[in-house]
A and B are shown apart, each in its own frame.
Chain A
Amino acid sequence: MGDDYVISEIEKHHIQFLLEQNKRADGRILSEFRKIAIETNYVQKAEGSAVVSIGDTQIIAGIKATLGSPFPDTPDSGVITTSAELSPLASPYFESGPPAEDAIELARVTDRAIRESHAIDLSKLCIVPGKLVWILFIDMYVLNDDGNLFDAATLASMAALATTKIPKVKIISEEPLETEILEEELEPLKIDHYTVAVTTYKIGEYNIFDPNLKEDQISDARITFGFDEQDRIVSMQKGKLGIYTPEEVKTQVRECLNVSKSLRKELMKAISK
């Protein structure tokens, strides 16, 4: 369990050589994404769900809503909490056990994009201020890892949220608090912003999008940007040990912004079905 990923010099040279020709092993150019497939409402028992495939990378996101108390410092807000699991089911390089750094990073980066963009108006999840709110759990499971989990994760979470339906809550009495969940009366969760994450990966002096597993593993650094539909930057996270110059960051944010539009297109196409 949890083998170390060893990539040979020959394979590294092969990838780098191709990059010099603006090409990749599967014939794509540096900025090209693999085929994206999004299926929503995959799990009926979940309030919302989506399975996203980018090439052979596949992630499922499920949304569960439970009633609970709000945080004391935000009594009028509902709660969203995001988790991710890198199960050894999805890769020989994942380990069993509680979520390790990688899984936590994936969850937090995804959460940041969704939360900071106010994709969901948390006040709309409030039922009785200070006492009862909806808690939305966004739980992601990687089903197959072939690189670029970050972009797939945000896409899956947003697609799941955008097709989530939450039952109405009837307040029978406020003191003592008594409520009834009207299971049959479902309301779609309102989405205020259609957030999309795009990650740029650096291999040597080249920047690529949507790496496969090998490219992802040999990349020196990456930056994940979150964008809303008004082309605003809502989140950013640099990962791995490599570095970027300020000029590189400014260039990359623009390239990622450009790419975000086509990803958003895929998202909107999937949720409008």
Chain B
Amino acid sequence: MAGDGTVQLIDEKGKRVDGRLKDELRPTEIKIGVVKNADGSAEIRMGKNIIIAAVYGPRELHPKHRALPDRALIQCFYRMSTFSVNDRKSPAPSRREKEISMLLSDALTSVVLTDKYPRTTIDIYIQVIQADGGTRCASLTAASVALADAGVPMRGIIAAVASGLANDIVVLDLFDLEDQKGSGDMPLGYCPTLNEISLLQLDGVFTLEQFDECLDLSIEGAKRLYDIQTNTLKQRYADIRAEVAVDEDDEVKEELKEQLNDEVKEELIEQLKEEPKKEEVKEEPKKEEVKEEPKKEEVKEEPKKEEPKKGDE
């Protein structure tokens, strides 16, 4: 294949190599909760892109000196599987992966309400299973959904897409061939509810008109992706009906939560008051204690020092 401009990426009728028109997104699907161990996760398929985002956190940060005293650190780690591209990618972290990790971290930091969790880290792991152009954007789209799934408080959800130039025509959502053979590429991360751009790059040669058109087209594309994100998140809980018993009958107060806690606390204290009496009847606990005590009785003093335990009273 020859260099840029000589590969026909879009024909006279406006049809691209993969059959799309200039303002069409690739078929996109998002699934939530794909990594069971994670606090939140999402898998995105955008055309041939298959990318998993998994969120762990907020959680403690090690080493502790890296923690921020007044807010959470957002750390995004973008990695491509060796088999995600045509020519096997070396497993060692590349500079490109490090740069993309940083871009994603920055974008997500702008929307996460980090001051709610000082001294913690919120880690987002991105694994590209298959790459076909626009992976940093698809990753950001998936990461936002994963963070929402994890219950991390955010000002808004970011959707991202890369538009660019194919045979000098501005097209939406470049796939790999267009990315390689086109003459311009502009990845953009945008939050529609805030009207904020948090990720923005460009490489190629654009006139000012093309620049504006590309930006507008990407914003439009991001809004469509946002609808997919919204539907996916809301669908997940579509079958939930409001739990009437516990919440509805409580009095409306500004400290509603505290009141609920008081009820719960009362119940727990009641439980504890009951415990000691009930314990005397049980056989099992004593059996278990016999197994454990021998280890501890090596120090004669120790049983006295121990807490008034369940079985002792």
Contact = CB atoms under 8 A, between A and B. Distances in A.
**Direct A–B contact in complex, judged by CB atoms less than 8 Å apart:** yes
Interface of A: 1-3, 9, 13, 42-47, 49, 56, 60, 62-64, 66, 83, 85, 87-92, 96, 98, 137, 139, 141, 143-146
B88 A141 contact: no
B81 A141 contact: yes
B91 interface: yes
Interface residues of B, number: 35
Contact of B82 (A88, A89, A139): A139
A254 to B, nearest CB: 33
Given A44-B130, A89-B52, A144-B35, A139 B123 contact: no
Interface in B292-313: 292
Nearest to A141: B81
A139 B37 contact: no
Interface of B: 34-38, 48, 50, 52, 54, 56, 59, 62, 77, 79, 81-88, 91-92, 121, 123, 125-127, 129-132, 288, 292
A111 B54 CA distance: 28
Given A88-B56, A88-B125, A60 B91 contact: no
B123 A83 contact: no
A41 B204 CA distance: 35
6 contacts: A43-B130, A45-B130, A83-B91, A89-B35, A96-B77, A139-B82
Given A1-B123, A92-B59, A144-B36, A60 B82 contact: no
Contacts of A47: 83
Contact of B88 (A56, A98, A137, A145): A137
A88 to B, nearest CB: 6
Contacts of B62: 1-2
A139 B130 contact: no
B84 A146 contact: no
Which residue among B36, B84, B86, B92 has the maximum number of chain A CB atoms within 10 Å of its CB?
A: B36
A89 B91 CA distance: 16
A47 B84 CA distance: 10
9 pairs of A and B residues whose beta carbons are closest in the complex: A62-B83, A89-B125, A46-B83, A64-B88, A139-B82, A89-B54, A56-B36, A43-B130, A64-B83
Contacts of A98: 92
Contacts of B54: 89-90
A62 B82 contact: yes
A96 B78 CA distance: 12
B135 to A, nearest CB: 12
Contact of B127 (A83, A89, A91): A89
Contacts of B50: 42-43
Given A62-B83, A64-B88, 19 more contacts: A1-B62, A9-B292, A43-B84, A44-B48, A45-B48, A45-B84, A45-B86, A45-B131, A46-B84, A49-B83, A60-B129, A64-B82, A64-B83, A88-B123, A90-B54, A137-B82, A137-B83, A144-B35, A144-B37
Contacts of A137: 82-83, 88
Nearest to B291: A13
B66 to A, nearest CB: 11
A98 B54 CA distance: 19
Given A45-B131, A141-B127, A146-B36, A92 B83 contact: no
A9 B86 CA distance: 50
A43 B83 contact: yes
